Amino acid sequence: MMDLKVLPLDIGDTGTQRCRLGPGLMTSLGLRIGSPVHITISGGECLCTAWPRSDLADGFLQFDRKCTTKDLKAVTFSDLSVCPKQIKAICSQKLKGVRVNVVVQSIDVKKHASASFIHDLVKEMLRGMCVAGQYIVDVTHLKTQVQLILIEHLDPCNADTGFITAKTSVSIGAIQTLNSYKCQLQKPPGVLLGGMEDVCASLKEIVHLPLRYPRTLQKLGVSCPRGVLLVGPPGVGKTMLVRNVVMEVGAALVTVNGPVVLGSRPGESEENLRRKFRRASEAAQEGPCVLFIDEIDSLCPRRASSTSAPQNRVVAQLLTLMDGIGSDESFVIIGATNQPDTLDPALRRPGRFDREVIIGVPTLRQRKSILDVLGSQMPLSDDVDFVSLAEMTTGCVGADLSALCREAALQAILHSPQGFPRHAVDMKHFLEALKKIQPSCLRSSIGLTDFKPLSWDQIGGLEDVKLKLKQSIEWPMKFPEAFVRLGLSRPRGVLLYGPPGCAKTTLVKAAASSSHCAFLSVSGADLFSPFVGDSEKALAQLFRQARACAPSILFLDEIDILGSRGDSSAPHSVQARLLSVLLNELDGVGLKTQERRGTRRERCPPEGSPPEGSAEFQQELQMSYQEVCNKDVMIVAATNRPEALDSALLRPGRLDKIICVPPPDMEARLAILEICTRRMPLESDVCLKELAQKTHLFSGADLENLCKEAALLILQEEGMDASSIKHRYFIKSLQSMTPSLKDQQIQRYQNLFTS
Amino acid sequence: MSKPALLSLHQALKRSFHSLEQNQEVWNSVLEECRPLMGSLCNLAEQLLALNNVQISSTPLARFPNLQDRLRFKLLVAVDTVLEKMAEKMCSLQMVRDAVGNKVTAAFQVYEQHADTLDLSACLQRSAAAPSVADMLEWLQDADRYYRQQYLKRKALLQALKSNDHSDLQSAPKRWEALAMPEEEDRVSDALASVSFFMDSP
């Protein structure tokens, strides 16, 4: 039999529970006029009574959705066709009784309408209808106080469906309002949150508290906390956290968006605010309710700094509304912002926002759990290692990580071989995606640099300097458990000093590329600005950003400009102020509370953790060591004028590891020459050893220059066709060069910190 | 095809339509009688509002003790009287509804009894003199539902009235009038017109 085309219902049939079928179909299904049918359509089910179409045409179906299951409600029926198999005749008896829940229009009706009135209304509405258990009867078309009737239970129990007659007894269970019913219908959160268990729990507690223990709080004579301010950088998931908590608790959510509330007419914004609060308090009479003010900084800026009167009025209105919530109205206000400093201070006091929850940039462990949550939906191949990914994504917030996963999935789709629609995401896709993702807490940072990765082998000689650098930078990251075992902490800062051209900067580059951590580099000149106070602010911000994405390396090149010993002639110069900022940032009293990240964890493993000895336990342990050991910023400074530095900078606790980068000795020079000539075609008579012997007092940069000069010389003398460099050209160019270092200078460097 | 079954069904339908015709007149006349009552309700509400707004002490009537309360009492008693009368009218509306309902149910019962012997195509057969059985059953059901809905809505409106909310009282007549559904009413009349030949036939 051919499919039936679904047409919209005739207006006259609205609310009649009829479905219009062709007479042919009715006969084949054995239907009489008015006999009940059960229609299964697009995921839902519907109960109707069969009526012939007035034009007696077959092949069409019109049906009234008065009595349906829950899942049918939101479906539209354009271009839908139905197989006749989806329509079934059912036989139903007259019901003795029925128990229903009622959804009414507003809280006003729920409070004031008498039970007998509602009962009469509902009974009258249901009369003559064919119903089944767990179906919903929609009576909105009648425009009375009752909106929906939820059929709970039929009597006799064995009846699946039945007709309600005048003799059927109707008993009413719960009465709820339409808003709370809609809240209930919302699906549980599809997106879970990773690494926010503690914040989530504390939020849930606040929402639950007034509901669970209203008497206890009354007895204690205290009012419940009502306001929570969520503070955190953009992208850490503040809004998502609130939505998740609200859904989990099953609370009603009223959202206030700053820009939406603000209106153009005078007084409009205040009115909108008041309306939102009224809505929240109405919803709160039925169950938990959360009023969520996103981007509260736009709604409630500091009053002193703004000159516009309307803005100030809005702030004042918000404050009075927050004060005006009675203790009987139990709704919780949650505000979210990423600039808590711009909020009006009057807002941040107990009674308004009682608690401030700071969500920092996720730590290693939190990143791991975020990645776990994000990856749980993706088809991953076995080589994906989220622990190492979490280690690589320092400074990334939740939004960055989800962007990373999306990018990786895109890579997988783009690079999957044709004809293999497998789409498993491999580790290489993640690594490819990682190149495109920039941690959002480093955006627009002055210290962000892009450099070519460099390995330790590309630096000749200086073996002991390399070792010291590895000790202080690489080891704490690679072997954290050894550091923890021995109670070692990594040095706060490293100072590299030595004559110019001896690869100080290159060494730092190599250190940065060998350890997977964020690398910020700034030279003194970047910081200076013509505006008073600007330089200090920039330096402080640099440190803040570096801390946000710890473990990180902050490289201060030419630190002598920043940290030179204060001249007595200019005690208030920019240098002096910068130095004081630097000293404070290096070893200050503490951090600002806003920069808090994660929570202090107990060292003992939490309950439910994997058993000792297993691979997972080892991984967990490794991660916890990593966190303990590498929560700070490593500061690396370089200078060639160490004598000019302020002594306060050099004390242990600030730049406590002082490494001298000496000019290359004989072997080092040989190594440097080998590296420099690696790509040059050399004649067999070239003796690098001899060159190394002859280049006493040459720095690394000088040696590189020497090689370049020799190559240029041969091009000059033998024409452009020259194929290899002969030894005499090295000697010739050596004769024209003088070493940039002097014996006396080296002596001075060496005696500086030893005497 | 079973002729006797169809005949008895036709008889039942005829009885139902006759009853519907009579009851429609009753219904309309009762509704007509309700209108002045609702008007006086509106009037009383206005008086109550005015009483609330006036300061008796600043008028020459200040000499009468407790005038405001007495007046309010009087007005409220009057409101109650009107509402009582309305309740009576509602009773007669309910009687109409029940009468129509009973006849329609009876017609459906007759149909149910003979449904096994009646062919669907017989029920769908229309002629110049008589509409098909399906159409007539549909019209009867529509009429029944119309009266039930009207009664329900009007009753809900009266139930929701609060005598202490004057503006609510004042707007009641307007809402009462708004409840009337002329197109539904017309459908009942149309149905009756369509079956007039059928009803007159022996």
pLDDT at residue A566, rounded to an integer: 55
8 Å CB contact between B89 and B41: no
CA A27, A31, A34, A40 torsion: positive or negative?
negative
CB–CB of B138 and A51 under 8 A?
A: yes
Please state the rounded mean pLDDT for residues B176-186: 85
Beta-carbon count within 10 A of A328 CB: 11
The residues spanned by each domain of chain A are 4-89, 93-185, 197-358, 364-442, 456-599+617-660, 666-752
What's the rounded Cα separation, in Å, for the pair A691 and B152? 110
8 Å CB contact between A460 and A672: yes
Does A4-89 carry CATH code 2.40.40.20? yes
* pTM (two decimals): 0.66
Please state the rounded mean pLDDT for residues A12-39: 85
> pLDDT > 90: what percent of chain B?
11
8 Å CB contact between A170 and A178: no
8 Å CB contact between A411 and A372: no
- Nearest Cα of chain A lies from the Cα of B5 at a distance, in angstroms, of 15
The CATH fold assigned to A93-185 is Vcp-like ATPase; Chain A, domain 2 (3.10.330)
Please state the rounded mean pLDDT for residues B134-157: 89
Question: Helices A727-735 & A700-718, crossing angle to 10 degrees?
Answer: 120
Q: CATH number of A456-599+617-660: 3.40.50.300, 3.40.718.10, 3.30.1360.120, 3.10.20.30? A: 3.40.50.300
Q: Is the model's pLDDT at A256 over the cut of 70?
A: yes
What's the rounded Cα separation, in Å, for the pair A170 and A468? 85
Reported as a single tens digit per residue, the pLDDT across A216-228 is 777 877 767 778 8
Q: CATH number of A364-442: 1.10.8.60, 1.10.10.10, 1.10.645.10, 3.40.50.970? A: 1.10.8.60
CATH class of domain segment(s) A197-358: alpha beta
Reported as a single tens digit per residue, the pLDDT across A99-112 is 988 888 877 777 77
CB–CB of A121 and B156 under 8 A?
A: yes
pLDDT at residue A609, rounded to an integer: 46
Residue A605 pLDDT class (50, 70, 90 cuts):
very low
Residues of B with CB under 8 A from a CB of A: 108, 111-112, 115, 120-121, 123-124, 133-135, 137-138, 141-142, 145, 148-149, 151-153, 155-156, 159-160, 187
Beta-carbon count within 10 A of B81 CB: 13
pLDDT at residue A607, rounded to an integer: 42
Q: Is the model's pLDDT at A700 over the cut of 60?
A: yes
- Nearest Cα of chain B lies from the Cα of A4 at a distance, in angstroms, of 20
Reported as a single tens digit per residue, the pLDDT across A310-337 is 788 888 888 888 887 765 566 788 888 8
Task: Please report residues of B whose CB lies closer than 8 A to that of A124.
Answer: 148, 151-152
Test the B interface: residue of A14, A17, A21, A33 with most B CBs within 10 Å: A33
What's the rounded Cα separation, in Å, for the pair A368 and A542? 26
Q: Quick one: how many helices (H) and strands (E) in chain B?
A: 7, 0
Residue B91 pLDDT class (50, 70, 90 cuts):
very high
What's the rounded Cα separation, in Å, for the pair A105 and A177? 6
Structure tokens given for B57? 């002490």
> pLDDT > 70: what percent of chain A?
87
Identify which has the larger pLDDT, B139 or A188: B139
- Nearest Cα of chain B lies from the Cα of A140 at a distance, in angstroms, of 12
Among residues A411, A458, A463, which one has the least CA distance to residue A433? A411
Q: Which residue has the tokens 């709370």?
A: A180
Interface membership of A124 toward B (CB under 8 Å): yes
Beta-carbon count within 10 A of B143 CB: 26
What's the rounded Cα separation, in Å, for the pair A706 and A709? 5
Structure tokens given for B68? 């405001």
Q: Is the model's pLDDT at A188 over the cut of 70?
A: no
Q: What does each C-alpha distance from A107 to A140, A185, A282, A329 come to in angstroms?
A: 16, 18, 7, 14
Residues 42-71 of A with CB under 8 A from B: 51-52, 54, 56
Among residues A558, A527, A579, A574, which one has the least CA distance to residue A641? A558
Please state the rounded mean pLDDT for residues A605-619: 55
CA A410, A412, A414, A418 torsion: positive or negative?
negative
> pLDDT > 90: what percent of chain A?
0
Provide the b/e sequence for A195-205 (b: ≥16 CB within 10 Å).
Answer: bbeebbeebbe
Reported as a single tens digit per residue, the pLDDT across A637-666 is 888 888 778 777 787 777 878 888 888 888
Same topology for domains A197-358 and A456-599+617-660, yes or no? yes
Identify which has the larger pLDDT, A229 or A561: A229
Residue A591 pLDDT class (50, 70, 90 cuts):
low
**Cβ neighbours of residue A716 closer than 8 Å, sequence gap 6 or more:** none
Nearest to B124 among A23, A128, A145 (CB): A23
Reported as a single tens digit per residue, the pLDDT across A388-431 is 888 778 778 888 888 888 888 888 888 777 666 566 788 888 88
Q: Is the model's pLDDT at B198 over the cut of 80?
A: yes
Please state the rounded mean pLDDT for residues B148-154: 89
Residue B1 pLDDT class (50, 70, 90 cuts):
very low
Please state the rounded mean pLDDT for residues A231-252: 82
Identify the closest residue of chain A to B161 by CA–CA distance: A113
- The overall average pLDDT reported for chain A is 79
Q: CATH number of A666-752: 3.40.50.150, 1.10.3720.10, 1.10.8.60, 3.40.50.280? A: 1.10.8.60
Q: Is the model's pLDDT at B106 over the cut of 70?
A: yes
- Nearest Cα of chain A lies from the Cα of B88 at a distance, in angstroms, of 18
CB–CB of A124 and B142 under 8 A?
A: no
Please state the rounded mean pLDDT for residues A293-309: 80
Structure tokens given for A680? 């040059």
Beta-carbon count within 10 A of A152 CB: 16
Residue B88 pLDDT class (50, 70, 90 cuts):
very high
Reported as a single tens digit per residue, the pLDDT across A432-460 is 888 888 777 777 667 677 677 778 877 77
Among residues A371, A322, A325, A328, which one has the least CA distance to residue A346? A322
Q: Is the model's pLDDT at A466 over the cut of 80?
A: yes
Measure CA A57 to chain center. 58
Test the A interface: residue of B141, B161, B164, B179 with most A CBs within 10 Å: B141
Please tell me which of A372-386, A498-512, B163-177, B182-196 the model is most confident about, judged by mean pLDDT: B182-196
